[in-house]
Structure 1
Amino acid sequence: MDLQSKMTVYAAIAGVFALMGGIVFYASLDNDELNQVEIELTNVELIDVNEINNQAKFNVTFLVKNPSDKTFTVSVIDYKLYGDGTLLGSGLYSTADITLPGRALFSSGAEIPLKNIFLLSNGDVNSEIYQAMIDNKITSFSAEGTIITQSSWSEAENEFKTGY
């Protein structure tokens, strides 16, 4: 192989690496705006009580806000739910199996409630807490966890703590 052919191959390889570096840099420009996501626990509502399995089903609603100029989607909300300061269990809202175009789009200024089913078994907490939950006697709820937001080029993971 002559010198000119080698130089052409080296230039092509360098060009490919420069292009890859440029794509990574361009994708990282979204990170600051994706990290501005706001999440708030707004409601925990009893849906159903299964007395045979000693399980209660709740709708947990998070209000997700986009204060940035960048449009994004939410792929995962991984959280621990507390009632009157007692850990009730963990929950997971996930749209990871849905492609980006099929998810709710959070454009600039958007506020969208996202609902998730939370199952509470009588064996997961003590009997008094379980009974208080199905009798709607818990007065305050809180959640903490992580939310993953995505744009077409980037993904950001943010921790949150919220309650009402």
Structure 2
Amino acid sequence: MFIGPRRAVLIGTIAAVALTIILLPLIFALTSPDLDLVTVRLDRVALMSVEDEGADLRTSFVLENPTDQTATTSRIDFELFADGTSLGPHTISYDDIPVNGRPAIFGKDSVTVSETFTVKVEDAGLLKKISDNPETIKWRAKGIAQIESTLTLVEKPFENEI
């Protein structure tokens, strides 16, 4: 069977597109930054105000990027603990913000992200301790942060105590 020049160009084009579709994820995997090296840690918890059944707390997380590539975060889902007592799940979300407006984690640098939220504290003794002497509390956060760079998304689990 004879293949004409038009048919050869068409077959070559289809093969090139198919090869690109097949190899593109491999190319991105080989050239993407190692976002697993980014670390997330609870930096501080500050008491903003105390109410009858709860408190307004401002949590701050430090995201450190030891790679050369710039990354960002779209959300941090975490559970906050005060002296071992869970204060419930919370989220710091940048999902509705375009990528260029999210906190940039530049290469070889770190960034602090903070959020204020209200927690319900059912233990009256713990609420009194939070309001009277919050610096003596052992704060712990456990969760998952979504770290992004160009075409790569990594869910980074973390857990630490301050």
Question: TM class, shorter-chain normalised?
Answer: 0.7 to 0.9
Contact 1:43 1:61 survives alignment (8 Å): yes
Paired letter, 1:135: D
Q: Percent identity?
A: 25
Q: Which residue of 2 aligns with 1:118?
A: 117
Q: Which residue of 2 aligns with 1:127?
A: 124
Deviates more, 1:19-28 or 1:97-106: 19-28
Structure 2: gaps of 5 or more residues: none
In structure 2, what is the Cα distance between the partners aligned to 1:127 and 1:30?
53
Residue 141 (structure 1) shift:
0.4
Residue 104 (structure 1) shift:
1.9
Residue in structure 1 matching 2:141, options 137, 140, 143:
143
Structure 1: gaps of 5 or more residues: none
In structure 2, what is the Cα distance between the partners aligned to 1:98 and 1:29?
28
TM-score by length of 2: 0.85
Q: Which residue of 1 aligns with 2:34?
A: 33
Higher strand share: 2
Contact 2:39 2:63 survives alignment (8 Å): yes
Residue 41 (structure 1) shift:
0.8
In structure 2, what is the Cα distance between the partners aligned to 1:31 and 1:145?
24
TM-score by length of 1: 0.84
Distance 1:134 1:78, change over 3 A: same
1:43-122 aligned at under 5 Å gives the runs 43-51=44-52, 54-122=53-121
Q: Which residue of 1 aligns with 2:161?
A: 163
In structure 2, what is the Cα distance between the partners aligned to 1:149 and 1:49?
33
Cα deviations by residue, 1:39-65 (Å, 9 ceiling, x for unpaired):
1111111112344xx332110001110
Deviates more, 1:99-108 or 1:135-144: 135-144
- For these two proteins, the number of residue pairs brought into alignment is 159
Distance 1:71 1:29, change over 3 A: farther
Contact 1:45 1:58 survives alignment (8 Å): yes
In structure 2, what is the Cα distance between the partners aligned to 1:94 and 1:30?
27
Contact 1:30 1:70 survives alignment (8 Å): no
In structure 1, what is the Cα distance between the partners aligned to 2:119 and 2:49?
11
Residue 117 (structure 1) shift:
1.7
